[in-house]
Structure 1
């Protein structure tokens, strides 16, 4: 009520300068402990939040998303294998000092001279209500956005797979297309277009989404849309080899499995245009499609572009081995980690594992600094990677162990079930898997 009254008063102020100055406010979380501000609730930021010593730091989190998302299982929600709420954990459950220590807001800038983060409320329809949050220590973990490489039509006609909202939109489009395909009077050519799904990008996200789609078609579509099953096709477009970070033999295994499937196709080409009903490849081929999912890499967020810190050629913030940012002046209290950052002379992969472990390291090193202890540099040792490829088969790529097939699938499920963010999720996800196995996937459209 108070904010709405303030908004009505502000609307009567004629000067934009006066309007902004009256709405600007400074937020100081408390006194006594150091004020630690975290921008972002992804793997890196959430890892710091969970592991930092809250006896030493008064923690404030700024993010337009009020939950942590377990991204490795996001593809499973697009076809109803898992429910959306089974892979998200509300950030406020992490135990803040009080309710004012989480801001559902977008960070718009950093003033390193005054030690403040500039923010805008994410729920403000006009997106002009600004305020500042003070900090002693700042952690930038805002993540990244999908990289379209300037391809025309991607933002207008393709779907990304980065957030729960993306997964829900994809799920609704899939179910919508199936329902339209059974409408009386629709042509066979239109049925084939509606049920042709194009995945652009052969990384883990694209391959796992394709795997979930294949299982959905084999196990549920055959039961619910029997006559339409023959028209379903999934095309994965990748200019290079799929799963580039995996071992060559595992890449070959996954490629062979995809090529063996009658309703899946792997095309080694590049998409140069996306239209409402098709995609165009670099050789001029026009591929009709009812759904295009774009998963080809990462690009920096607007906030990352705006801050005046050193960046690499990919637009990521460059940090030293202790994850400290480099700016125009020496900056000893601003850190960066996750997809928005990279370590100078020791490049890190843009994976959940790297961000989560960097977050744990940073939580410990911050405490060590306060207590006057030695801070060791961050060293990332890749523990390995997992990827699901469909038909209850997966890939396990570890330095000491490599496997493919059903045994790797068991390891894939066990690993993810134990790495979920809370015991609530560790209970919900296996229950969802069991329900889908016994009763089939939920195909409700909402």
Structure 2
């Protein structure tokens, strides 16, 4: 089925939710004076603009550091690496200055910073050392992390392996080092494990990879809809932005504000009980249990973590033996049974895996909107009549990878399954290729890998 789709290469600089307008300007590189601006009217708006780099207001970061966010950032980093080697290879440059120029500092020990440090190490030691043999021994890579370990969100086995491998590879890992200032040629760090001592580190290129922040026009939009105090757009479980109509948000720019069971406990009790008796039988509660688990995913997580088989196990603490379906509970006993359930609420990580699943979910919802309007397929509305139109979004974690260089990758998959080494690298290759948007891009990526294996990486300037 053909649909009318219009694509514009432009950036949004303002959203007017009240009048349903999006203000945009062209971001095409040309020699024309100014940037063309235009307005797009909408019925439904989906916001998926991602986030920007978070500098934590550290002085000098914006002026002196490279970032790892856009394609242009990667191209600029590559040019700078080549420039550093070319300049250090000049005969009139002193030995001390060569060491500074060839010192590459990476700030941030998360997945992005670790992968970049590993990739840079491979690029230098597998390709550039053959082009610049006279200065290969002067190259140094330093990874600065404010926490006590790299990859703190991964399994401890992966963290330990990554730190050991980097030590073997000659990558200097400095944990407990918080960057407080970045000058043109030096990085100032506060050594948290050494009494807060301030240390200066000379560098030739610095890369900043320490987290994400909200884009300015999203902050402006958040202030319009009463979310000024938040760090990301708050949505409900259906990815609808809270505080406005027909606006959806996904990815790094948004966070799901999962509703708590205890906020709706009265409505749940009222919806489940029959006859306004003031009490609820186990049978009546079981009748709405599936809707409760679908509406509040923390209930299912709580049952799983506490190794409870069913609702009877959940209600035992409040009522004792509840195997008999005729046993009744009042609202206070139900509150007691569900009082700790909300402790299982979790925020979703800002990863491409989350954004991809959200995009797929939202597309299915829009494609089924007319059908689900007539036949709702979501859970019961505990505060209202009928059922929700769609099932709420549920994130399914499929695992995570951490490329560590030298054709080795760490993989952490559901079920506490951890794999580290060359076999995991091939698993990463297959997953990465399968996630490409088309067969064309898949072929381009695979051919690029093949070309690198045969001829090495391209070291020419872009």
Residue pairs, 1:123-272, within 5 angstroms: 123=28, 127=34, 129-240=36-147, 241-272=149-180
**Which segments of 5 or more consecutive residues in structure 1 lack a partner in the other structure?**
1-53, 59-96
Instruction: Indicate the larger mover: 262-271 or 217-226.
Output: 262-271
Call closer, same or farther: CA 1:119–1:228 in 2, change over 3 Å. same
**Which segments of 5 or more consecutive residues in structure 2 lack a partner in the other structure?**
191-196, 259-345, 377-389
Alignment partner of 2:121: what SS?
helix
Contact 1:259–1:266 (8 Å) recurs in 2: no
Alignment partner of 1:396: what SS?
strand
Residue pairs, 1:405-416, within 5 angstroms: 405-416=421-432
Shift of 1:213: 1.0
Select which of 13, 17, 22 maps to 1:117: 22
Select which of 214, 235, 242 maps to 1:300: 214
Given the two structures, how large is their TM-score scaled by the length of structure 2?
Answer: 0.72
Aligned residue for 2:202? 288
Alignment partner of 1:102: what SS?
coil
Aligned residue for 2:267? none
Alignment partner of 1:199: what SS?
strand
Contact 1:201–1:296 (8 Å) recurs in 2: yes
Select which of 408, 431, 435 maps to 1:393: 408
Contact 2:15–2:217 (8 Å) recurs in 1: no
Matches of 1:210 and 1:263, distance apart in 2 = 8
Write out per-residue CA displacement over residues 278-316 of structure 1, whole angstroms, 9 at most, x where no aligned residue.
Answer: 111013111010000000000000111111235486520
Matches of 1:196 and 1:291, distance apart in 2 = 7
Shift of 1:244: 2.2
Contact 1:120–1:127 (8 Å) recurs in 2: no
Instruction: Indicate the larger mover: 333-342 or 421-430.
Output: 421-430
Instruction: Tell me if 1:444 matches 2:460.
Output: yes
Alignment partner of 1:107: what SS?
strand
Contact 2:106–2:142 (8 Å) recurs in 1: yes
Aligned residue for 2:327? none
Call closer, same or farther: CA 1:310–1:392 in 2, change over 3 Å. farther
Contact 1:310–1:318 (8 Å) recurs in 2: no
Alignment partner of 1:284: what SS?
strand
Q: Which has the larger radius of gyration?
A: 2
Write out per-residue CA displacement over residues 232-289 of structure 1, whole angstroms, 9 at most, x where no aligned residue.
Answer: 1110000112112211111111111112222443343111111111111013111010
Instruction: Indicate the larger mover: 350-359 or 276-285.
Output: 276-285
Call closer, same or farther: CA 1:128–1:176 in 2, change over 3 Å. closer
Shift of 1:122: 2.3
Matches of 1:267 and 1:220, distance apart in 2 = 28
Aligned residue for 1:337? 250
Matches of 1:366 and 1:110, distance apart in 2 = 21
Matches of 1:256 and 1:313, distance apart in 2 = 41
Matched residue pairs, number?
348
Contact 1:232–1:263 (8 Å) recurs in 2: no
Instruction: Tell me if 1:321 matches 2:237.
Output: yes
Contact 1:239–1:268 (8 Å) recurs in 2: yes
Aligned residue for 1:6? none
Contact 1:121–1:127 (8 Å) recurs in 2: no
Instruction: Indicate the larger mover: 433-442 or 152-161.
Output: 433-442
Task: State the structure with bigger RCO (CA 8 A, min sep 6), 1 or 2.
Answer: 1
Aligned residue for 2:449? 433
Matches of 1:127 and 1:348, distance apart in 2 = 39
Write out per-residue CA displacement over residues 72-102 of structure 1, whole angstroms, 9 at most, x where no aligned residue.
Answer: xxxxxxxxxxxxxxxxxxxxxxxxx35xx11
Contact 2:103–2:139 (8 Å) recurs in 1: yes
Contact 2:143–2:171 (8 Å) recurs in 1: no
Aligned residue for 2:392? 377
> Which 4+ stretches in 1 moved above 4 angstroms?
124-129
